[in-house]
Chains A and B, each alone.
Chain A
Amino acid sequence: MAELGAACIRFALLIAIAGFGAAIHAGLSRRPDWTRVAERSLLVVAVFVAIAIGSLFTAFATSDFRLSYVAAHSALGMATPYRLAALWGGQAGSLLLWLFILCLYSSACVLANRFKNRGLMAWVVAVLLANALFFLVLLTFVTDPFETLPPEHAMSDGAGLNPLLQHPVMMIHPLMLYTGLVGFAVPFAFAFAALLSGHLGSTWFQTTRRWTLFPWLFLSIGIMLGGRWAYEVLGWGGYWAWDPVENASFMPWLPATAYLHSVMIQEKRDMLKTWNLLLIGLTYTLCLFGTFLTRSGIVQSVHAFAQTPIFTSVFLGYVLFTALAFLTALLLRRRGLRSPQRLESVVSREAGFLLNNWVFIAILMVVFTGTLFPVFSESIGERTVLGPKYFQMLAGPLALVLLLLTGIGPLIAWRRATAASLRRQFLWPAVATVATAALVVALVRSQLTPYALGAWSLGGFVTATIVQEYVRAIRSRVRHGETPLQALFTLWRKSQQRYGGYIVHLGAVLVLMGATGSVLNEERLENVKPGAELHMHDYRLRYLTAEALPAQHYGGAVARLALYRDDQPIAVMAPEKRMYWLEEQPASIPSVYSTMREDLYVVLTAIEKDGSATFKVYRNPLVNWIWIGGAIFVFGTLLVMWPHPTRPPARRA
């Protein structure tokens, strides 16, 4: 099995080199028959990579510990799903997974375009194969997942996967993230192809709209799942720590979201072509860079994999090469990208979208410099790490600006808004904003920060604009004879981009409002003897007992506490402190009581020698609105992406 996998990788490498050459030739000579050759080579590479990853899955399923990678990440005692998921638990396997997903996307792209875009496809294949080549080279020469252990080191059982990763969410979080990060290779390839071929019209980005939305959706889901897993399993009461690896997945999301918005301007007004190309180039470069950051260990993180110096320099070199190659092509073609259109007024939708883009890029700059600050500071002096406060302080106000634009943007007119149109659109939402602000001040009072007031009030503003839009549209359709429900579905079918987009915004706003609840967070560390009580807000927790956990894969203790709220008994909470024997990995599994209003989150810190127990109790208001908002966000994106039988051409404004 191992030999098959290794052979397939090396074979794929050779075919990829040949295919890349064919693609370049096809692009330069513009010969459709060579384009076909290149496309077919790509499909062959995909088949071999599929066999390779299949053989690695088989090795994990059969616990073939002759492979050092399997021995390092799997164990006989692990359940089958986790044994299979262990494939992406380490560096070599996760790179193979990346390559496999890249091949899936590339094949789909080739097959979907077999009768279209003939002029572009040669270069698209060239770019995709170049990326595949990089990973094939890494997998052959630098980190080989099929490396076998020397016979004298043969192992009868493996080291096992870190038990913290043996959780359902952790099984799919990497898959979601990769489906997101890798997927941006396709729109990137089309953008690069447009530059290389000189076909700079609107074809390249109209073709790639769905190819961009799809990975963007999965990247968004992957980021949210990471936060959810951290909250459920790591037991520190939070879901986002501005950890370098969290930031690595967030950074490409920012220009990708900016891109999704500004292509609308390109479509309507034929402007911002250069800017859009820069955004997609930046997005994909950050996807590669994020992968590099997660693996290289140049910044300390709870996620960091082991690193070798060769790997670090090769990968970083590749990221820089990609960025420079794309920029060079962009510079060479800049004349062809000039647009005759100009921004007519600052009070217009175009200006709003442009500002939206700038804010996203500003947030990106904040996150980028903050994440890499240890590297910068080490080179000029002492290595300094910036904590979460830095990110919150800078990204916070920027997020508020973004929130404001989310409300204004969809309602303001194209080209130039008049005073009358502004009054008509924004009167009611403005009233709603003031009302929300007043409500917030009345409910929260002393703990309110300026940021929180801004976030919740503007959240009310955006929600009001969305409601207004829906009400007006449904009302006008009802006047024409439809029922409200019919009208809603018509909106979702006929104007899916606009009305689906509103749902996405609603989801994002709820996420932000939920996250802002953290200004009201309370936490307490208490030591109690059995029978004693802890108090938090209107909750009461009585410590009942602690018991040893049955020893199977792990041992430890579970404590039981009776939870009361306003003196009504509600639940028994059972936080655990586990120790996984094989891996010597401790874990604090929290016990959480969730309501719409807040979460009560209890962690068993320690059972002390004198029989008392130390607990950390958190109260996290509004946190569940994050997950609810996330679900709405996904639903909205699906609405926008839903295949439409006939696509009407975009109206020129």
Chain B
Amino acid sequence: MSKGVQVAGGATIVALLLAWYALANLETGASFSYYKSLAEFQAASQSETGKPVRVHGYVSLGSIQRDVAAREVRFSVQNTPPHQAGAEAGPAMNVIFASLETPDLFKDGAEVVLEGRLRGGEPPAFVADKLLAKCPSKFEGQGPTTADGGARG
């Protein structure tokens, strides 16, 4: 076997070992099914209850409630931006974010990405572990900020 083949073989073995190590140790929460829009998610929501997902939506105007005593923030999201004239808002989804630490850009009308799972029961609510918010304006260089509302929060 030539030197080149030996090196290539060795490198492949190392790469496979690393990949196996990574996949074997990856927490179930580290990767998600990513949904592009709230509408898509709501259409599929029957099968998605309980599974970790990422959902994209817009914060409904006036829906944000900070509950200091319960250490959570409740709000609802809709499929289209509230400012958009003529757009169907669609059914809103209630969200519970299990922390008071919301990102700076989180406010009425903000574009958000939620990571968490749909909790069944009445009324159904999405329990978000992570909340990413994007600025509603279009300036270059402004991007999402994130907050982590896990068990430590």
Contact = CB atoms under 8 A, between A and B. Distances in A.
B112 to A, nearest CB: 14
B44 to A, nearest CB: 12
Contact of B102 (A89, A390, A584, A606): A606
A382 B33 contact: yes
B142 A162 contact: yes
Interface string A497-533: 0000000000000000000000000010101000000
B140 A384 contact: no
A608 interface: yes
Interface in A78-121: 89-91
B31 A384 contact: yes
A605 B21 CA distance: 37
A412 to B, nearest CB: 21
Interface in A355-402: 358, 362, 365-366, 382-387, 389-390, 393-394
Interface residues of A, number: 50
Contact of B153 (A72, A525, A608): A525
A616 B101 contact: yes
Contacts of A586: 104-105
B34 A384 contact: yes
Given A162-B141, A366-B18, A608-B68, A390 B30 contact: yes
Interface in B132-153: 135-146, 152-153
Contacts of B25: 393
A173 B104 CA distance: 24
Interface in B39-94: 66, 68, 71
Range of interface residues on B (Cβ < 8 Å):
35 or more
B142 A587 contact: no
Contacts of B104: 577, 586-588
A609 B22 contact: no
Contacts of A523: 152
A596 interface: no
A394 B21 CA distance: 8
Given A365-B15, A385-B31, A586-B104, A162 B139 contact: yes
Interface stretch (A24-32, A38-46, A302-310): A302-310
Interface in A111-168: 159, 161-162, 165
B139 A583 contact: yes
A584 B135 contact: yes
Please indicate which of the listed interface residues B11, B101, B143 has the most CB atoms of chain A within 10 Å of its own CB.
B143
Nearest to B54: A385
Nearest to A162: B141
B22 A390 contact: yes
A287 B33 CA distance: 32
Contact of A527 (B34, B100, B143, B144): B100
A463 B21 CA distance: 31
Contacts of A234: 145
Contacts of A304: 143
B143 A382 contact: no
Contacts of A525: 99-101, 152-153
A605 B102 CA distance: 8
A609 B66 contact: yes
Nearest to B71: A527
Contacts of A162: 139, 141-142
A389 B99 contact: no
Contacts of A301: 143
A72 B32 CA distance: 36
B141 A606 contact: no
Please indicate which of the listed interface residues B34, B141, B144, B145 has the most CB atoms of chain A within 10 Å of its own CB.
B141
B122 interface: no
A545 interface: no
A349 B129 CA distance: 50
Given A386-B31, A390-B22, A89 B141 contact: yes
B26 interface: yes
Nearest to A303: B143
Contacts of A302: 143-145
23 contacts: A90-B141, A162-B141, A300-B143, A302-B145, A305-B140, A382-B33, A383-B34, A384-B32, A393-B21, A393-B22, A393-B25, A394-B21, A525-B100, A525-B152, A583-B137, A584-B136, A587-B104, A588-B104, A606-B100, A606-B102, A608-B100, A614-B101, A616-B101
Interface of B: 11, 14-15, 18, 21-22, 25-27, 30-34, 66, 68, 71, 99-102, 104-105, 135-146, 152-153
5 closest residue pairs by CB, A with B: A586-B104, A302-B143, A384-B31, A383-B34, A162-B141
Given A302-B145, A577-B104, 11 more contacts: A72-B139, A89-B141, A301-B143, A306-B138, A385-B32, A584-B136, A588-B104, A608-B66, A608-B100, A614-B101, A616-B101
Interface of A: 72-73, 89-91, 159, 161-162, 165, 234, 236, 300-306, 358, 362, 365-366, 382-387, 389-390, 393-394, 523, 525, 527, 577, 583-588, 605-606, 608-610, 612, 614, 616
